[in-house]
Each structure stands twice: as structure tokens, then as C-alpha cells.
Chains A and B, each alone.
Chain A
């Protein structure tokens, strides 16, 4: 019964009720997300139609009609339209190692295993002794990799020049070096761009804008042909390792993009965080390392990972300056006369696409996982 006056006094607590039935469950979800209106319904039906056409075809091509084992290309030429996985199976060692001598490939395997363990250790959120992992990964691991893969230097291992390196492992090396070194250099450039010292700012801006204003291929060519000219003694010029030149070019290119990404994070930091740190007596380095960068980098994880993914795929361009990367090995092997067939190149490129997709998707998922983790309980 409604009271006639405007005054009101609650005498007993209001009941806490469950939400209405039709706002929950599968049907409600579908009504809200798939059939909420005419356009939405049409789009849903169109998507269903496309999937209905594509999925059976893909299953037929990739699985049912595919050739899984063969000694040469004959079965792939004879059969119906299907992927020739036998080709990938046979060529996998070459895709992985390039021209690295077969007897020495255990060295690549060992190095990749060490790398995988270290990366897993670093990426596992609550893993113990992270600082140890960081030191091993950033200092010991590059040296181990160099000695193990190249040999010599008193290790007793056969020297295998970088001109014989190739395939997946060189793609991983170029990507990893680019990712690992571009981040710290990017941080330095981003801080330099915001520096109060005009000279530091000028140099940072010049570097960033110059590198960003030039295509990656150009940077690679410059690294390949100009870098040796900067060597103090011209006689070094030819011995300057080709892979090293490309690595330097890749790192510098990625660092310029990374710097801009990180600068965005720095600019998003509230002024109060700087002032809070300064008022406590923290110096510039401590303030940046302990307060500003951890937050600024967290803010731009999506952008940083976006750069990593872009860089990972861009490493295929190193083939242009003569590095025999994974895609280059695929490119070469689909021309193998023993394996000619109508679907050989399709299969080869599909395999390459799957390889790149798995890595990029993995990076993307990991970054989303970290974002959620870091966001938990840390709202402003």
C-alpha cells in the first residue's frame, strides 16, 4: 500500500533477488549477441554460410585427401586435390637447419632446448629465482649460443660459419635477438626523447625518426653494405659477419618502433607518480626503474607485443640480404624437381603460415594472460 506522504522510512531490509530467468543462459546469450536485430541476424547467417562452405573443404584438403607419407612427389601428383604433408615431413630437417651439417645438428637442438627452458623459466609467472634466469638468458645464453652454433674458440667444436646457418633456427635467432635487444634500447631512446638535455633529445629524435622513415629492407641493406664501412680498419670490412650485420640492423629498426611505443606509456603516466617518487628522495634512475617504467611498460604491453609479432614476421625479409631464413628454405624446396606437384607450393606455404601463426598467436595469448594478471588488484 502506498503512503500518501513524501516521507519514507525503511523498516525492513529490501529482498536480494536472483536476476530474471530470460537474462541468463544460452538462449539469452544468443538473442543478445547473434540475433539482436535484422543486421545482426543477417550477419550471423552469412557467417554460418561461409563456415559451412569452408570447413568441409578444408577438412577434405588438409586431412582426407592429404598425402601423409611418400618417398617422392609421385603420390602427391597422382591423388586428388590434397595437401602433400609427406613433402613437409621429408624436408623438415632442411626447413629447420638449412645447410647446417647433419652431423652437427645436435648442437642446434641442444641450443634450442636450452633456450626453450630459459624462456619457459622467464615467462612462467611464479617461477623461482627469476633473477638467475635473467642473468643466464641475457649474458650466458648469447655466448653459449655463439660458441655452440659457430664452434671454435677453444670449444673443440667444428667451426660452422654463419653462411651455413639457415631455416627455422636462424629465423628464431633473428627474432629473439631483435625482441630481446630492441626493448632495452627502445627504453633508452624513449627516455632520451623525453630528456631535458637538448643534445640527448636531438639524437634520440633523429635516430627514431630516421629509422622509422625508412623501410625495413632499406635498413637491412644499409646494415649489410654500409655498416662494414664504419669499421676502423678497412680490412675488417669483409670479415664482419653477415649475420651480425643483419642482427644489428634488425635490432636498431625494432628499437625505434619500440621507443615510440614506450614513449606512449611514459606519457600516460600521471604526474603524481613522478612527484611521489621525487618527494621520497629517489634519484632519476631509481624513479624510472622502480616506479615509472614498471607501470608504463605494463600499460603498453599490447603495443609492445604487437611490435614483437610484427618483428617476428618481418624477419622473413632478411632473405633479401642473403640470410637463408625459414621462408627462404621453403621457397627453395618447393622448386625441388623430385617433389613437383600441383599442391606442393600450397602445402609448403601453408606449413610456413602455420609456423608463423602458432608463434604469433602464442605471443598474443601470453600477453593477454599477463595483462589480466597485472591488472588484478592494481586499479588506480
Chain B
């Protein structure tokens, strides 16, 4: 199966592919099978099994140190797993740098601290990867960038530097920057945790609209309202393992595991 998917991959680079539509829903986007990870002797991720369908939106929550961020960072190899398999878009993650690069091209990531490049303008932040990784002509990359900057509602900031923008604006740029690579999957690692309270909504709104268009999304977040609104499944992690996983209505109204109940009672007042 990875073989067939590998051949399919290369041709998918054009901008016309667009976001996945519903008829692809049953196809697997990410398959994590028996994944384990250690930091030295510390077993941070224990036997993680998660299958994400195309177009599916997954919200991952759990107490700090539970391994949520580590897990999604394994998906684009910012962290290396030591046991088990991770198959992203039909490509299995190995030490092969080429495969890692292929996966990173198709998996966008948004970080807690934005990680915009402060020495480049907003527009340059957005065109950098399409030009250097996708080999897109500069003019076309700028058109694409302006398209997505308009979508996240900040086209007028294109020529400013990240340091001149508010946190919420920077995070929206980070989302636009990831979208410029036309990714098939988006990973969000606590995208609103570093924001001032009044800026959380503008970022969440952007994520909701992205979800409505059918993007495959994995979000580590504590925004339970967002989880209720867009998630197909909520994953609860604790101490490096997936403790409970369910659709949001059931997850919030009738949590099964004691640890889930405790966690929810603490964050939902």
C-alpha cells in the first residue's frame, strides 16, 4: 500500500488539488500503529494507536506533560518515534530524509509560539517555502500568499514584519503560511495558548472556517468550545497514552474513564 501511494504523491503538487472534498472521507490520512517513544529512560508515548480519515478533525486534549504535543510532532518528524509505525498520506515515516521531506511538504503545522521568521516580511514568510521547496515561480507564490492572507483577513499587513503584528495576527499569518504549501493535513500545537484572551477568537474563527472546508486537522488545544463545534473525535491523553477517544457530544456528556472525568471537571467549571 505505501508503494502505490508513493507513486501517487509526486503529481499532487499543483495548486489545483485544493482541499479534500467529502468523497475522500473514508481514505486514511494518518495511521499511527503501536507507536512508542522514549526520552532517555522516560517512556513519553506508550502504545499510541490512532487512525485519522481524510477530512477528519481530531482534537487532542489532556493535562500538561501528557504527550499530546510530542505525539503530533512525531507526525511530521519534529520528534522521532522509536517503536511502531506512522504512515502519513500513504508514506511510512522512516529515517529516510527524502520521505520525511515529502511528508513535511504535505503536512502544515501551526505552533504555540507562531515561529514566524522575524527577519522576513509577512509576504516573504508565506512565499518562502512554496518558492524554495515547491519551486513555484515567485509571482505565482505571491498570488497564492495574498490569496491565503486575504482568507485569514490580513492582506493589508503583507509588507510588515512579524514583530509589528499582534499575537492573533501573527498566528493567522502562521496559518496562512502553512496553507500556502497547499497541505493535505494540518497540525495545530496549542495555537491559542500563547495569545492574549481577546485574540483567541480570531484565530479560532480561522480554524473553524478551515475545518468547514474539509481540511484534515489534528489540534492540540484546551479550547473545548472549539472541540464541540468542529471535532469529529476528541482524544484524551494522560501520562503518554491515549486514555479515551470519542465523538465530542459523548466525550463531554458521558466520559467513561476516571482520569477523563477528573480532567474535564477541572477545566470545565
Q: Which residues of A contact B (CB under 8 A)?
A: 270, 272-273, 275-283, 286, 290-291, 294-295, 298, 374, 377-380
Contacts and interface: CB of A to CB of B under 8 A. Distances in A.
A279 B118 contact: no
B139 interface: no
B163 A280 contact: no
Contacts of A377: 160-161, 163-164
A378 B117 CA distance: 10
Contacts of A275: 78, 111, 115
Contact of A276 (B107, B111, B119, B161): B111
Given A272-B113, A379-B118, A279 B104 contact: yes
Nearest to B132: A286
Contacts of A283: 101
A273 B78 CA distance: 12
Interface string B72-116: 000010100000000000000000000001001101110101111
Contacts of B104: 278-281
A121 B179 CA distance: 38
B129 interface: yes
Nearest to A275: B78
Is the contact region of chain A dominated by helix, strand, or loop, or is it mixed?
helix
A279 B78 CA distance: 7
Interface of B: 76, 78, 101, 104-105, 107-109, 111, 113-119, 128-129, 132-133, 160-164, 177-178, 181
Contact of A378 (B105, B115, B161, B181): B161
A19 B76 CA distance: 55
A38 to B, nearest CB: 43
A378 B128 CA distance: 17
Contacts of A279: 76, 78, 104, 107-109, 111, 115, 178
Contact of B181 (A276, A281, A286, A379): A281
Nearest to B109: A279
A21 B137 CA distance: 58
Nearest to A285: B132
B129 A281 contact: yes
13 contacts: A272-B113, A272-B114, A275-B115, A276-B117, A278-B78, A279-B104, A281-B129, A282-B128, A282-B132, A291-B117, A377-B160, A378-B163, A380-B118
Given A280-B128, A282-B132, A378 B101 contact: no
Given A279-B76, A279-B78, A281-B129, A380 B163 contact: yes
What 3 pairs across the A-B complex have the smallest Cβ distances? A276-B115, A280-B129, A279-B109
Contact of B115 (A273, A286, A374): A273
Contacts of B160: 377
A278 B129 CA distance: 10
A298 B115 contact: no
Nearest to B77: A278
A276 B115 CA distance: 5
B119 A294 contact: yes
Contacts of B118: 295, 378-380
A276 B173 CA distance: 13
A281 B101 contact: yes
B115 A272 contact: yes
Contacts of B178: 279-280
Nearest to B174: A276
A290 B128 CA distance: 9
Nearest to B73: A275
B132 A290 contact: yes
Nearest to A276: B115
Given A275-B115, A380-B162, 5 more contacts: A276-B115, A278-B78, A280-B104, A282-B132, A298-B119
A378 B101 CA distance: 29
Contacts of B78: 275, 278-279
A281 B177 CA distance: 12
Residue of A280, A282, A286, A377 with most partner-chain B CB within 10 A: A280
Nearest to B101: A281
A280 B181 contact: yes
